[in-house]
Each structure stands twice: as structure tokens, then as C-alpha cells.
Structure 1
Amino acid sequence: MADPTPVLDDLRTESHELDQVVSALSPDGWTRPTPAPGWTVAHQIAHLAWTDHSALLAVMDEDGFRALGEQALAAPHTFVDEGAEEGASAPPGELLGRWRQGRALLDRALRDAPPGARFPWYGPPMSAASLATARLMETWAHGLDVVDALGVPRPAPTGRLRHIARIGVRARDYAYFVRGLTAPGEEFRVELVSPADPSETWTYGPANAAQRVTGPALDFCLLVTQRAHRADLAVRAEGADADRWLDIAQAFAGPPGAGRPPGGTGAGSPPAGTAR
């Protein structure tokens, strides 16, 4: 039973760092277009606030979340965009306050959740630790889009990426499922070089697995959040099934996204529940 405290602490830090970027923006900065077509900086923050609210419903109001899920099923390819559009129409100060309040409420709800509890989500049900990891993954991914839009340097990768790498590995079979494909029967070995210490490798799966994926942890996280095309990353596969996985990998719930084109930013948009 995973203690959610470490990932919740990392989510709080990740959110605070992005908050510092957007809280200093002029009104024009909020309207800056990001790599996701049709989404401004305001859309990115509105989506984070919207998904925090969805997660809070999942933890505190299962009936409310079920109703939200029914709306998503009724419009799977527009539901996320509609939520982001609605939030982005608010004045920047109001939107920022909404995001701050929502993430604080979710932080408290997840810290207070009973040990072993599982909550509904747009994909499989999640524990408090897994739900916090999903929020960290999204905050990091959307934060990259924000800083790219603003033309400021991307923050140096940290050990917080370990959470995102882990959820990316654990979501392997889900990536096949949402595409109507059969997942391989055997586990892969995944070996990722830590961004903070090149002598440290994060490993997942059996050491004697016939197929494996290797590369920098940063590149793997960019891949599974669909923030860069595989061709632009130093992630390598050994084995036909592992190679196929790298073409479809996603760490987020909901239908598959089109990803980013090689050599650029442009985007596809994975719908309900996670990283556009």
C-alpha cells in the first residue's frame, strides 16, 4: 500500500513552480498560444484546474464524478476542450485563484483519504498515490507547454520525474486497450537514466525480460506524456513488441492522443482526463 505523502509533496512543489511562472504574467501573457493547437496559456491552467476539480469529485463525491464521466462519454472528443475553453474565458486573476483553491482542496482530500481507498477515474480506478501521480504528470506536461509558449527556459528535470516514469510504465497495457489492441503477455524491462545523477538507473520489470526499453528518464517522460515525437528522443527498444509500444505509449487516461509531430511542437489532443 503506497504512502501518497511523497508524491503529494512533489505535486505541491511542481504546482508551486508553475504558479510562479504564470502569476507574474501580464494579461497578454495569458493569451499566448501554446504548442497545443487552439490552447493559450489560460487554457492550459484552466485544464489543470478543471482536472483537479474532477479528481476532487472522484475522491469526495462519487455520484458527482459519475455524472461528469457520463458527460465525457457523451462527447469524448470535445469534453476536455470545452472545459478548458470555459475556464480560459475567466479573468486571469479569477482563473489563477480557482486553480490554487482547487489544488489545495485536492491535496487535503488525498492526504486524508483512508489507506487502501481507490477512486473512480476516466481509466482504471486509482489509489490516492496514483491519482496524485497523475496530477503531477499533467502539471509537469502542461507546464512544459506554458514555458514553451512564453519562450522561457524549461526547468531543469528533477527526480520528480520518477513518478511520471513509473506511471508511464504501469500504463503500458492501457495504451493497447484504448486502441483496441491486445497487450503483449510478457513484461518488458525498462531502464531509464536519472536526470539528476547519470550513474543512477531507474529500473522496472524483470531483469531477464526478452524485450526492453532504455534511455534517459526525461525523454521517456516526454514520450509517454506525448510532449515530443519518438523520433526526437533517445529512447530505444529491443524487440518488436517493445518497439511497437513506443509508438503508442501514453501515461494519461482517456482515448489515445495524436501526439506531437517530429521536429516540432504542434499537438494532437488526448481527450478526457489528462494530458492534451
Structure 2
Amino acid sequence: MLPDTKPCPRRERSVSDAGAVLDDLVGESAELDLLVAELGRDEWAVATPAPRWTVAHQIAHLAWTDRAAHLAVTAPDSFGAEVEKALAAPATFVDEGAEEGAALDPAVLLARWRDGRERLQEALRAAPSGARFPWYGPPMSTASMATGRLMETWAHGQDVADALGVRRRPTARLRHVARIGVRARDFAFGARGLDVPGEEFRVELTAPGGELWEYGPADAVQRVTGPALDFCLLVTQRAHRDDLALCATGADADRWVGIAQAFAGPPGAGRPAKGSA
């Protein structure tokens, strides 16, 4: 779970309703499913922009994480063992889960992913109001768990789309990814051992539908503006800042654009700029 920023007025739809987030998670998963459902065996083995990960690795990672989340929701006392595994091999446990799933027959892997994500969203819908679940960090609320799964589904789906040469149409579901990216500002600085800026930033993003998503004080000196899609590609580290139409005003905002990440864990390497050696 990523750190909160102070609430502020904005024109984006509220994401506090867990049911609405889960509906969007189902939609995001279905869109990715359409990309991979009819792939041949050779296409499952196509390399994606993530080093050493094929299309199969991307789907296997989502299936693995969905199973972990389901365990956290339905058997929280047992989830501690999963955390111990992660702590014992922090540099490899994610890749090991992806490798195991990628070795499966594609039809088996696809069925596993579909079953796991369905079981997870059903468990989250059945969770009592105010429930919090253990995770690989601070406990997660139902809405936070669903939002995190949507962010990962979109980001890994982008890797799959890039590998297959498919250009996806951005949707309003990006508001969840953008919100995590904004809220994770302090985490991005802290993960790199940098001082967290003491002032709030202003973030203004043009949504796929043309409306404005606003975060932070309107009079903030430090500002980031641009398309919501580009901001989401930035904070999930699916594109280099030089390839995105984002504008940063202020030294701290410019520094943030260079290190932003919406995911927990150690700093990611990011993607090289297009045309770089």
C-alpha cells in the first residue's frame, strides 16, 4: 500500500467506492484477456519490453499475484508465510512466480489466470465494510487492494500490447492508476533515499475523455501537467519521460518526474528513451 496525500478537490470520479473499483478491475482484465485469448503457442513466447519476460511471464505474474491477494483476503493468518518467502528472497521471488507460471501450457495458464482473478474479485466484494488485509507492506483496504490489482493489470497489459504491436485505446479506468501515482510521490523519493518535498504538488491531467483530473493545491509552485495516459505510463515505468508529453514546473517536480513509480518495492530501472543505445 502506498502513502496517502492530503485529500483535495478534484474533478475526477471518486474511487472510494470499492464496488466501482472492482467493476473497473473486471473491465481492465477483460480487455487484456481479449489480447491473449486467441494467441498461438509461439505468440505466448514473444518477448515483452520487460527483460527476460515473455507474454506468458506477464500473465503468469498477474495470476500469481491474484492468488497471493486472494490468500490475504480469505486466509490472512496464512499470508504471513508468503511474506516470509518474500523476505527470504527479495530479489528473486517475483521472477520465480512468473517463471513457474510461464512454464505451463498456455491454455492451463490462461485458465489459471481467469479463475484466480474471478475468485479474488468475488472475495473482495464479499469482504465486510472497513476490512483490511495483510500485504507485502502495510495492510490494504478493499478499495486499495482492487486499485493495486487494476494498476498492475493495466501496466502488464501494456507490456503485452507492446510486445504484440497492439495500440490500446486509453479509458477512464486510468484514473485509478493516476491516483496511485500521485499518492505515491513521497514513496518514490523515500525509496531512493531522497528528502521528501515538504510542499504539495499540483498535478493536472487531461483524461481520455477530455476532462481534467486535478490533484493538489491550485496555487502550488511545483506542478506536473499533461495527458493522463502519459502520466500513467510514467508512474508504472512503461515509458521514459523523454518520450512523454509531460511538463514539470519546479525543481522538485522535475526530480519527481524522473523517479516516479506507482508500485511498491525497490526503485525500478524504468525503460530507456526511444532511440537510445
Q: Which amino acid letter does the alignment assign opposite residue 70 of structure 1?
A: E
Q: Which residue of 1 aligns with 2:48?
A: 34
Q: Which amino acid letter does the alignment assign opposite residue 54 of structure 2?
A: T
Gaps of 5+ in 1: 267-276
Q: Which residue of 1 aligns with 2:200?
A: 187
Q: Which amino acid letter does the alignment assign opposite residue 243 of structure 2?
A: D
In structure 2, what is the Cα distance between the partners aligned to 1:257 and 1:21?
Answer: 26
Q: Which residue of 2 aligns with 1:219?
A: 230
- Equivalent residues in 2 for 1:77-116, closer than 5 Å: 77-116=91-130
Residues 206-241 of structure 1 deviation map (CA, whole Å, 9 limit, x = unaligned): 112221111110000000000000111111111111
Equivalent residue for 1:203, pick from 214, 225, 229: 214
What is the root-mean-square deviation of aligned Cα atoms in Å?
1.6
1:149 aligns with 2:160: no
CA drift at 1:265: 9.9
Q: Which residue of 2 aligns with 1:53?
A: 67
Q: Which residue of 2 aligns with 1:228?
A: 239
CA drift at 1:264: 6.0
Report the identity percentage.
70
Q: Which residue of 2 aligns with 1:249?
A: 260
Residues 140-179 of structure 1 deviation map (CA, whole Å, 9 limit, x = unaligned): 111111121122x221001110111001101111112222
Greater mean deviation of Cα atoms: 252-261 or 177-186: 177-186
CA drift at 1:248: 1.1
In structure 1, what is the Cα distance between the partners aligned to 2:256 and 2:199?
Answer: 13
Secondary structure in 2 matching 1:137: helix
- Equivalent residues in 2 for 1:126-141, closer than 5 Å: 126-141=140-155
Q: Which residue of 1 aligns with 2:273?
A: 262
In structure 1, what is the Cα distance between the partners aligned to 2:23 and 2:61?
Answer: 21
CA drift at 1:6: 1.0
Secondary structure in 1 matching 2:33: helix
Contact 1:123 1:254 in 2 (8 A): no
In structure 2, what is the Cα distance between the partners aligned to 1:37 and 1:86?
Answer: 16
Q: Which residue of 2 aligns with 1:269?
A: none
Greater mean deviation of Cα atoms: 216-225 or 201-210: 201-210
In structure 1, what is the Cα distance between the partners aligned to 2:61 and 2:189?
Answer: 25
Cα distance change on mapping 1:123 and 1:205 into 2, 3 Å: farther
In structure 1, what is the Cα distance between the partners aligned to 2:153 and 2:252?
Answer: 30
Contact 1:33 1:149 in 2 (8 A): yes
Contact 1:193 1:217 in 2 (8 A): yes
Greater mean deviation of Cα atoms: 133-142 or 217-226: 133-142
Q: Which residue of 2 aligns with 1:237?
A: 248
Secondary structure in 2 matching 1:254: coil
In the comparison of the two structures, how many residue pairs are matched? 263
Residues 49-71 of structure 1 deviation map (CA, whole Å, 9 limit, x = unaligned): 01111111221222332211121
In structure 2, what is the Cα distance between the partners aligned to 1:123 and 1:177?
Answer: 15
Secondary structure in 1 matching 2:208: coil
Cα distance change on mapping 1:225 and 1:38 into 2, 3 Å: same
Contact 1:35 1:265 in 2 (8 A): no
1:177 aligns with 2:190: yes
In structure 2, what is the Cα distance between the partners aligned to 1:265 and 1:16?
Answer: 34
Residues 178-202 of structure 1 deviation map (CA, whole Å, 9 limit, x = unaligned): 22223112211110011122xx110
